[in-house]
Amino acid sequence: MAVVEAQVSHLRENPFELAREQLRRVAATFEIDQNLVNVLGTCKKAVEVSVPVHMDDGTTSVFAGYRVTHNVARGPSKGGIRYHPDVTLDEVKALAMWMTWKCALMGIPFGGAKGGVVVDPKQLSRGELERMTRRYTSEIINEIGPEKDIPAPDVGTDGAVMAWIFDTYSMNKGHSVLGVVTGKPLTIGGSLGRVEATARGALYCVRDAVAKRDGRLDGMTVAVQGFGNVGSFLAKFLHEEGASVVAISDSRAALYNSKGIDIAAAFAHKREHGTLAGLKDADQITNDDLLLLDVDILAPCALEQVITERNASQVKASIICEGGNGPVTPAADAILEDKGVLILPDVLANAGGVVVSYFEWVQGLQEYFWKETEVNAKLNDIVSRAFEETWETAESRHMPMRVAAYGLAVQRVAEATITRGIYP
């Protein structure tokens, strides 16, 4: 029996400590009571499980899995499940905390949660991936539920993984439970617009930010790090708005073309080969180089902590749209702010996914489904309202967008905590 160990992490700093430091700074700025900070700075529940799986070669591997609930003051917890070899408990805790702020900022009735398994899903066969998912679901089955904690896709997971979780949970309950997960395929209760939702929400934020600066997306240059669900669709949407996407990347390759990359060709190449490597009419660069390109908009849509105090001073983009969670560290924030860079923070810029997950959850509970135009229009309303509230707070209080976004969110969760009180 093989126990799968975590690899050396890409994280340079402890993400949960960074998340708590962000909370402390915001609490000081917005004068939030220290007793509330003590409550909000800890996770309600963290579960660690072992996930034994029969492999195709007859051996048994044991993977480590986690599910963390940060806060449920405003409703059931909500958050993705990540399959990645670098997953750690502290990373999952940080992501759960960020989900709490994201839901509060968007005004949807959820708290934050997150889950993960320490595994490289690309190294598993489809059968191994399904068996691992079903066993992981069985291990956390008492922690999740449509009125308790609702998982969704994240890095390394997709609609197929959500389908297996939905089926495993439903088989154990004896009936189909549509609201147990979101991000499901359309054939089993998924929502139209969910796949593109995170990228579409990011597009709305970039659009509104450019408009605030009296600019136009048409003709702007863009670099997108990460060509997964978020990065690929964000590149597509920005291209459709007239922007020139000059650089894209995935985990294996980063590509650059000063005249703009053919995004449709990139989609086709990625679909056929599983990587961007080898795409025609583009020069190979590194992911580190991509972050430092002279572009108008930089969209880090991959993993955390890619812009740090080591490279922040070399960033040339005037707008950073955080399509991924936690790509800019607090130390880098300070450097970029001094340079006048506008950062659209993750809790605002990539919240489109959880908004449409909320729509899917509502549709599943009602067993009544909406048209895609209706989903996108409601998403636009919610994201644009959150952007406007954040922008006005930042302008009126002379603070960065991140501090304004976190401040609004933390205040809302704090108010809910005070209103409910602490039992007993």
| Residues with active-site annotation | 114
> CA angle, 335 as apex, 332 and 336 as ends, to 5°?
85
The number of beta carbons lying within 10 Å of the beta carbon of residue 411 is: 18
Q: Residue 337 in contact with residue 309, Cβ under 8 Å?
A: no
Strands 221-225 and 297-300: parallel
Q: Residue 47 in contact with residue 143, Cβ under 8 Å?
A: yes
Q: Residue 128 in contact with residue 62, Cβ under 8 Å?
A: no
With CA atoms as reference, report the closest residue to 119 among 111, 107, 131.
131
Q: How many helices (H) and strands (E) does the chain have?
A: 14, 13
Residues 51 and 118: their CA atoms lie apart, in Å, by 10
Structure tokens belonging to residue 175? 């009936």
Strand partners, 328: 307
Structure tokens belonging to residue 303? 């993993």
The number of beta carbons lying within 10 Å of the beta carbon of residue 36 is: 17
Which burial class, exposed, middle or buried, applies to 126 when counting CB atoms under 10 A from its CB (0-12, 13-18, 19+)? exposed
Task: Taking the CA atoms of 326, 239, 354 and 194 in sequence, report the sign of the dihedral they define.
Answer: negative
Strand partners, 319: 297, 342
